[in-house]
A and B are shown apart, each in its own frame.
Chain A
Amino acid sequence: MTTTESTDVTAAQGIGTSPVRPDGTMKVRGEFAYSSDLWHEDMLWGATLRSPHPYAHITGIDISAALALPGVYAVLTHTDVPGVNRYGLEHPDQPVLAEDVVRYQGEPVAIVAADHPETARRAVAKIDVGYEVLEPVTDSEAAVAGEGPELHPGGNVVRHVPIRFGEQDVTADVVVTGRYEVGMQDQAFLGPESGLAVPAEDGGVDLFVATQWLHVDQQQIVAALGLPKDKVRLTLGGVGGAFGGREDLSIQVHACLLALHTGKPVKMVYNREESFYGHVHRHPATLYYEHGADRDGRLVYVRARMYLDGGAYASTTGAVSGNAATLGVGPYSVPNVTIDCWGTYSNNPPCGAMRGFGAVQAAFAYESQMDRLARACGLDPVEVRLRNAMSEGTRLPTGQVVDSAAPVDELLTRLRAMPLPADRSGEPDLRHLPGGVSNTTHGEGVVRGVGYAVGIKNICFSEGFDDYSTARVRLEALGGEPAATVQTAACEVGQGLVTILQQIIRTELGVEQVTTLPMDTSIGSAGSSSASRQSYMTGGAVRAAALEVRAALVEHAARILGHDRGDLSVGGGKVVSRTDGVLADLVDVLGDAAFDRTVEWRHRPTESLDPETGQGNAHVQYGFAAHRAVVDVDTELGLLKVVALDCVQDVGKALNPQAVLGQIQGGSAQGLGLAVMEEIQTEGGVIRNPSFTDYLIPTVLDMPPMRIEVLELADPHAPYGLRGVGEPPTISSTPAIVAAIRAATGLALDRVPVRPEHLTGT
């Protein structure tokens, strides 16, 4: 649809304002029902038996003792999966319940339903599984070299993405090389995996679950259950954070299986430890880079090899590898590029989507390289970036020409102009020093460093994926007021989509009262709440549906009021004529009529990458953010205090300025976590720290208040000109902090998270 009627940009609580979230008060007061709060009369509790081994053959499963336990209603194994015992977002390679082999520690082997969660757990402990333990495969580079046993048919490489751009054998005067490592980060969402499956009279099942994409869950569930699509209906439960960790299935099929088997509602909730085994993590990566430049620091070429460890199952490893490769040189204009990126299988925990999705790993490496290049050329780190900054019109290594604002130069210039924090002076407050109130320094050994970084992220789904969202908007008079209703299947995961959708409708229809219906599969897919895409996609779909409603309304008003349709608009609850002013109250014009439109909305199509050269217009939009970090390092103890973490980001249009700031703060904090503390540590495929005692995420004493500048350079191809906000701030935060630590210490620091051991050589 190509409606061009102007929108009412001044609508009360419309776009560009920051109204209170509809779920905000309840969340703050602890009254919001998360999916772990779901409850049903007479429900059973599900529990999962998981493999203790990263790699083993299953020689037998004896469930008799578990079944004999009073209170146990069902104990199911792979033989009870009625459909295809395989699922997966890109390749169906992951069993719902393990058959003859387990490929990671924590892989589900059997499930139990019992009348009490404790009974379910005890029953799980009584299931006797025979394992023949095998030597785990844990090395991505070895997998690419073809070494070791094949974990899946076809070998251990999930995807190889080559990029061949420009000349492949150029040389340069200045060459810097590096090998970088990124540890396995966790999404660390606070609400554990949970849901409730309720068997229905029609032989189907209704599932209430915390997820990121209802329809892709549904698709995988029906395949595993062997049911038609209309027999498995999903409704979004209250989601306590996602960050990519809920894209893959967790309890979905298990809870449905148990509910269908027992004929009773079944609730499943993971505890914190189980949650660490129950969702995918960020791919750990090893990256080899070579940057060639002229003596002025202008890039001549970039060559890179990247190894992303996808763990036991593919999940989204293919797409993550695609991102890492296509965004592998960063937001720079580089004439000649050679990149090979491999996503591999191993017996490590499965890895998949996490905020930043491949761009994070690449950014740590290419930004570290840019700092090295600056040093090699005797340039300031910002200057070397400015000399190579891409801009609108730049041809990326995929051959794609960037056709909207790419203000890398402006982001950096503004960032550099921001005031720096004052030096420490006077009596130190422990809370502002490395170590905090742990009282490790009163200033001794503390050196300050400043670091810059800038990053790039593709927004929305790429590589030819048919990316769309469905929205329904209804307008009618209710209780003497014009009232709109919006329905989508787009998952509110905490990001504030529910607020944005209401704002869009207020802007387009000029009505204040907007009700959001529960998000479920009774309407078409909205795609995933990921790839920073929901404001763009579901926002775009809701806007399109609202515009159709408005067109129909204006048509209707013209008829009733006997006015020329072209002269009419709606706003502020009125029907307005351009020539004669306000003509009527909207509510009167509506009368008994209701306007109800459903729209399936798409962004511009993208192309797949050429499998040999990596060429293609693969991405639809790019987002950019830049960070400056100021870090105080206790050089003797290796402890840190991030004193400032300032950010400039272009968001095209801030639909909700407060939500934009929240995304930038949260994303930056997640990047800080990766820089200095967050890592799932594995040893031979075994997770050593599956708890919040030892998987540390930043506290308020680790994360400084931020200075943030938001640019709004409209993208003409996007609804309202907006640019996805959620991911870019996670990407540049990490390398900026590490650059600051390097500046303070002079150390090379080629691995994140940086640990005290790295800073003290111990």
Chain B
Amino acid sequence: MDFLRPTTLDEALAVKAQRPDAVPIAGGTDVMVELNFDHRRPGALLDLTRIGELAEWSSSDGQISLGAGVSYTRLIGELGDVLPGLAMAARTVGSPQIRNRGTVGGNLGAASPAGDTHPVLLATGARVELASVRGRRTLAAEDFYTGVKRNALEPDELITAVHLPIATGGEQFAKIGTRNAMVIAVCSFAIVLRDGHAGAAIGSAAPTPRRVAEAERFLLDELPWDAPAPLADSFKRRFAELVAAAATPIDDVRGSAAYRTHALGVLARRTLTWAWDTYRGSARACA
């Protein structure tokens, strides 16, 4: 197995064009597991950790451009204030060791339905930036996930960054696991509320992470945006029903389908309450 170590993005893209079989490796927290379990035996590994450009983030026009190789630990420490939803998701990933290595780019590359950043990226309306020797393109997150552990990357492409708006309202992420840390999501939920935008998405409850369009529309249409007041229980329950209805979970060793559906409803209710409280607070602060 070759271990290829480009130091610039151009070099990396050239290598990837020549050797589309080369498997990119960032933090390696998914790749190394696959190698250890003999699930895959690539001809080459393409190490991305020397490419400075991928490990940077920048901010402009209310947007953050987050390099694919920024670790969760840095994301939490450096961007926790401006990307609270993504930071909440990042905090739930693995253990400190895993957060020191793991990256959002790697989460996207793996495209596991249980990946923790996906519901937040979907709910906030993030765009995924891809590059190859042919050029760059960006995709809406919802167009990126194409199947169980499958994504829209072409064989010669790399993920370079994720673009997402700085939080201006309420953002929440919540994840169910049967222990209180270091656990793969049994199911998860993210919600983002800001002026003119209501995003909500589920994880680990369908073949791909998925936006819950009907529930989002319900929020957009029915939330008392102009006179933000506490929400009635009936309102939250309606939202929870719409979220639960969008899930198509399975029974597996981590949990039953019925439990997942039930838990998503509870998470939807609770996170809506918290996100709306934040939104109301920020709306008052602006007034």
Contacts and interface: CB of A to CB of B under 8 A. Distances in A.
A271 B36 contact: yes
A407 B173 CA distance: 49
Given A688-B253, A702-B181, A439 B173 contact: yes
B231 interface: no
Interface in A691-705: 693-694, 696, 698-702
Interface string B170-204: 00111111111111101000000000000000000
A438 B253 contact: no
Contacts of A444: 270
B255 A439 contact: no
Contacts of A437: 91-92, 180-181
Nearest to A696: B179
Given A121-B38, A444-B270, A688-B253, A438 B259 contact: no
Contacts of B270: 440-442, 444
B181 A439 contact: no
B79 interface: no
B253 A637 contact: no
Contact of A677 (B91, B173, B179, B263): B179
Interface in B41-80: none
A639 B262 contact: no
B259 A760 contact: yes
A442 B182 contact: no
A438 B204 CA distance: 14
A694 B172 CA distance: 26
Given A440-B270, A677-B179, A696-B183, A762 B253 contact: no
A431 B179 CA distance: 12
Interface in B71-96: 88, 91-92, 95
A505 B256 CA distance: 56
A696 to B, nearest CB: 5
Contacts of A694: 184, 253-254
Q: How large is the interface on B (under 10, 10 to 19, 20 to 34, 35 or more residues)?
A: 20 to 34
Contacts of B267: 440, 637
Contact of B180 (A121, A273, A699): A699
Interface in A124-168: none
Contact of B177 (A438, A698, A760): A438
A197 to B, nearest CB: 25
A689 interface: yes
B179 A755 contact: no
A643 to B, nearest CB: 12
Given A440-B174, A677-B178, A699-B180, A760 B38 contact: no
A434 B180 contact: yes
Nearest to B277: A442
A317 to B, nearest CB: 26
Given A271-B36, A434-B180, A696-B183, A439 B263 contact: no
Interface string A697-719: 01111100000000000000000
Interface in A97-132: 121
Main secondary structure of the interface of A (DSSP, over half): loop
A435 interface: yes
A760 B181 CA distance: 21
Interface residues of A, number: 38
Contacts of A681: 253
Contacts of B229: none
B3 interface: no
A636 interface: yes
A701 B274 CA distance: 23
Contacts of B184: 693-694
Contacts of A273: 37
A127 to B, nearest CB: 16
A698 B175 contact: no
Nearest to B38: A121
Contacts, number: 98
B258 interface: yes
Interface string B233-270: 00000000000000000000111101101110011001
Nearest to A444: B270
Contact of A438 (B95, B175, B261): B175
Contacts of A677: 178-179
A444 B272 CA distance: 13
Contact of B176 (A639, A696, A698): A639
Given A440-B267, A440-B270, A435 B180 contact: yes
Nearest to B116: A438
A675 B258 CA distance: 22
B179 A757 contact: no
A762 B174 CA distance: 19
A436 B181 contact: yes
A757 B259 contact: yes
B282 to A, nearest CB: 18
Contacts of B173: 439
Nearest to B88: A439
A737 to B, nearest CB: 14
Nearest to B173: A439
B96 to A, nearest CB: 11
A431 B182 CA distance: 13
A31 to B, nearest CB: 19
Contacts of A435: 174-177, 180
A527 B274 CA distance: 59
A638 interface: yes
A684 interface: no
Which of B172, B186, B270 is most buried by chain A, counting CB atoms within 10 A of its CB? B270
Contacts of B181: 436-438, 699-702
B37 to A, nearest CB: 7
Contacts of A636: 266
A689 B254 CA distance: 9
Interface string A428-459: 00010011111111101100000000000000
A438 to B, nearest CB: 4
B142 to A, nearest CB: 23
B175 A440 contact: yes
Contacts of B177: 435, 438
Contacts of A755: 178, 255
A641 interface: yes
A436 B180 contact: yes
Contacts of A240: none
23 contacts: A435-B176, A435-B177, A437-B92, A438-B180, A438-B181, A438-B183, A439-B92, A439-B175, A440-B174, A440-B176, A442-B274, A445-B266, A636-B266, A637-B176, A696-B179, A696-B183, A756-B176, A756-B263, A757-B255, A760-B259, A762-B256, A762-B258, A762-B262
Nearest first, the 3 A-B pairs at minimum CB distance are A436-B180, A762-B259, A701-B180
Given A438-B180, A441-B270, A760-B259, 4 more contacts: A440-B176, A639-B176, A641-B180, A757-B259
Interface of A: 121, 271, 273, 431, 434-442, 444-445, 636-639, 641, 676-677, 681, 688-689, 693-694, 696, 698-702, 755-757, 760, 762
